[in-house]
Amino acid sequence: MRNYHRWVALAGAAMLTITNVSVSMADVVGGGESLETAVTVSGPEDSGPADTAGDGPQQPGAPLGGQETPGQENQPQEGTASRVIRVGDNQPSNSGSGAASGGSGDSSSGVDYSQGPGFFQGGGQPDPSQTALPGQNEDIQIADVSNPLVQTTAKYSYDQMVQDINALQQKYSSRMHVNPIGTSLDGRTIYDCIIGNQGAPRHILIQAGIHGREYLNPMLLMQQMEMILVNYDTGSFHGNPLSSMFDQVAIHFVPMTNPDGITISQFGIDGIRSQQLKDAISACYVMDSAAGRGGDLGVYLSKWKANAQGVDLNLNFDALWAEVYSTGYPSYSGFKGTAPGSEPETQAMMNLYSSQYPWKAVIHYHSMGNVIYWDIAGNKVQPESAQLANLMSVVTGGYQMLPSEGGGGYKDWIQLGNNPVPSVTLETGRVSCPIPISEYALIWAQNRLTWAYAMEWAMGR
């Protein structure tokens, strides 16, 4: 790939610059959390200090099994790192006066992405240190959407997503096909939105929102989709017209894999319709409280990761499942279920991948940590996964590549299965979930074009 090596060399510099974006402490620090608790960055999803230092419910995100010690290694869940990561210089400024003023608002306005992914220029003041960042000077003609249908909002809900999918489908009916691929326990449809030629010889899957509290990522995917649709006929990437790229590669977006879990994290038990499931959630709270993982109910529910009966879907896939460390009971987080593939949401994603599409790559969005999990013991596509992860690391401006341990995840299942393809997990955000909307401008800047690079990569395979 053109300039690829230059990007690799510059990734470190990009990370430094991009992560200097200022974050308003008022935005980050909510609910009486101490400053250092709320802004301790750097750990990957579920890791230590941000969630373990006196944060509301009994350390959601702390290691399972009772001995929850602040600062302890993170639990073996979803893409789990083998160690707690310090992202070095990747900390946000505590001064509130970072380099890029565009990053402190609650929308992406004011940010100039015109020079490519990872190029984050704020305030209209050219910064000499940003003159050679990844993507800059690349020939990329893909504009952000003016007057978007998919609005940036702090709690992007399932209902809003459905409304937006319908609106996009109406407006761009020839470019997007929407297929229901399953139904959640509480009766919400899980959607696969296919953009491009459905008969293309290469297909990519991008999915998000398999964990409830990680609800900025569904909005990210919806905004990626709208940007693609708006630019479909006029945009180009490295000189290739998007329309021609989408003839060759179709992208499937599953923006919200776990709509019930997201509803619980956003709206609490009241968001769930089934009385049986409401009771199941309450039972989780009782059991988690007994295990020292309860705490304030409102905070507890906001940290919800599982589906509506307390199964962590990203531990429920048949990938080293027997060895996956799990709570022994349904919980807001960390229960792998009673059998692999036991949940309807898990089955929907398994069925989608097992269908006849010629998959070339899968990207999974999670939060948090600004890291990429790309491997698993027994990975059948290790070199290719590393290659894809490395590319994503560069184009996100320096998300750090980490191997995974554990298992049970969708990524793991794809890499270990009968039809393995490169599969990587991108963990967005620098603060613990649910991530405040003030972080979104940076997340968007880092991820707005990941799909295009993945497409280009797939076209060469």
**Binding residues for Zn ion (CB under 5 A):** 78, 211, 366
Q: Are strands 202-208 and 121-122 parallel, antiparallel or unpaired?
A: unpaired
CA-angle at 448, arms to 443 and 453, nearest 5°: 125
Q: State how far the Cα of 136 lies from the Cα of 180, in Å rounded to an integer.
A: 38
Say if residues 358 and 398 touch (Cβ distance below 8 Å). Answer: no
3-state class (DSSP) for residue 409: coil
Q: Whose Cβ is closer to Zn ion: residue 211's or residue 336's? A: 211
Q: How far is CA 139 from CA 2, 130, 225, in A?
A: 11, 17, 20
* Residues contacting 434, CB < 8 A, separation 6+: 213, 214, 215, 216, 265, 266, 302, 303
Helix residue spans in 318-409 (DSSP H): 344-354, 382-395
Backbone angles phi, psi at 184, to 5 degrees: -70, 170
Strands in 240-241's sheet, in edge-to-edge order, are 140-141, 236-237, 240-241
Q: Whose Cβ is closer to Zn ion: residue 44's or residue 420's? A: 44
Q: Whose Cβ is closer to Zn ion: residue 48's or residue 103's? A: 48
Q: State how far the Cα of 38 lies from the Cα of 50, in Å rounded to an integer.
A: 6
Q: State how far the Cα of 339 lies from the Cα of 342, in Å rounded to an integer.
A: 5
Q: One-letter amino acid identity for 13?
A: A
Q: How far is the CB of 213 from Zn ion (least distance, A)?
A: 8
Q: Whose Cβ is closer to Zn ion: residue 366's or residue 411's? A: 366
Q: One-letter amino acid identity for 417?
A: G
Q: Whose Cβ is closer to Zn ion: residue 175's or residue 366's? A: 366
Q: How far is the CB of 78 from Zn ion (least distance, A)?
A: 5
Say if residues 40 and 49 touch (Cβ distance below 8 Å). Answer: yes
Is there a cis peptide before residue 434, judged by omega within 30 degrees of 0? Answer: yes
Q: How far is the CB of 200 from Zn ion (least distance, A)?
A: 29
Backbone angles phi, psi at 422, to 5 degrees: -55, 135
Q: How far is the CB of 47 from Zn ion (least distance, A)?
A: 12
Q: How far is the CB of 427 from Zn ion (least distance, A)?
A: 7
Q: Whose Cβ is closer to Zn ion: residue 78's or residue 345's? A: 78
Q: How far is the CB of 230 from Zn ion (least distance, A)?
A: 29
Q: How far is the CB of 235 from Zn ion (least distance, A)?
A: 30
Q: Whose Cβ is closer to Zn ion: residue 226's or residue 427's? A: 427
Q: Whose Cβ is closer to Zn ion: residue 211's or residue 360's? A: 211
Q: How far is the CB of 188 from Zn ion (least distance, A)?
A: 18
Residue nearest to Zn ion (CB): 366
3-state class (DSSP) for residue 427: strand
Give the distance between the most distant pair of CA atoms in the chain: 59
Q: How far is the CB of 189 from Zn ion (least distance, A)?
A: 21
Is there a cis peptide before residue 349, judged by omega within 30 degrees of 0? Answer: no
Q: Whose Cβ is closer to Zn ion: residue 320's or residue 455's? A: 320
Find the helix or strand (DSSP H, E) in which 208 lies. Answer: strand 202-208
Q: How far is the CB of 369 from Zn ion (least distance, A)?
A: 10
Per DSSP, 212 falls in state: T
Say if residues 136 and 116 touch (Cβ distance below 8 Å). Answer: yes
Q: Whose Cβ is closer to Zn ion: residue 181's or residue 368's? A: 368
